[in-house]
Amino acid sequence: MGVKERLEKGLIKVPGGTILIAKISDLMAWARKSSLWSLTFGLSCCAIEMMATAASRYDLDRFGMFFRATPRQADVMIVAGWVSVKMAPFIKRLYEQMPEPKYVIAMGGCASAGGPYRDSITIVKGVDQFVPVDVYVYGCPPRPENLILGILKLQERIREEHLAEKNGLPKPVREPIIIPETGATG
């Protein structure tokens, strides 16, 4: 049951108007998932597909997501492109500069596992070597629909997150979501 349905159950009509009774964690989860701001972090070819996803046809703004240049205002970092040894310290620093709660989407084969450059000496085999990843979106480059599916699944997960999880209480281990190249995970 979605958070909207849960909220609708809490609507009570009283003389003079309507009252909504809801849990704060539901409201916060709904607000957080509907307004994920992502860091403009396109490295290479996948960045062009990310731009295309944000542009006219596959609009990302309807999911509440638009790009902020500074990590201090970003919730999610979409690593789009291959990560080289020279660039890795910068990615790590940008990740650490993002305030909690933060998420990482590894877009494309290169950010997930090194991609076609597995025998290159300057490429890090996947951004998960030094940054925890929440969603892997495969493809070279992934279609905009795949990236949108990854974002929607991340939004589903955020919707179910509890405030307590993000307040220093023991966090459950999060399994990453994997979006294969040819369609939904079901």
CB of 23 to other proteins, least distance (A): 38
CB of 78 to other proteins, least distance (A): 13
- Closer to other proteins by Cβ: residue 33 or 102: 102
Answer whether 179's CB lies under 8 Å from 78's CB.
no
CB of 173 to other proteins, least distance (A): 21
CB of 81 to other proteins, least distance (A): 7
- Closer to other proteins by Cβ: residue 11 or 130: 130
- Closer to other proteins by Cβ: residue 50 or 135: 50
Between strands 17-20 and 11-14, the pairing is antiparallel
CA pseudo-torsion sign 169, 179, 61, 3: negative
Residue 142: strand pairing partners = none
**Residue that has been written with the tokens 């009252």 in this structure:** 19
- Closer to other proteins by Cβ: residue 81 or 161: 81
Under 8 Å CB-to-CB from 121, ≥6 apart: which residues? Answer: none
Radius of gyration from C-alpha coordinates of the chain: 18
Residue numbers of the site for other proteins (CB under 8 A)?
A: 39-45, 47-49, 51-52, 55-57, 69, 81-82, 84-90, 92, 94, 116-117, 119-125, 129-130, 140-141, 143
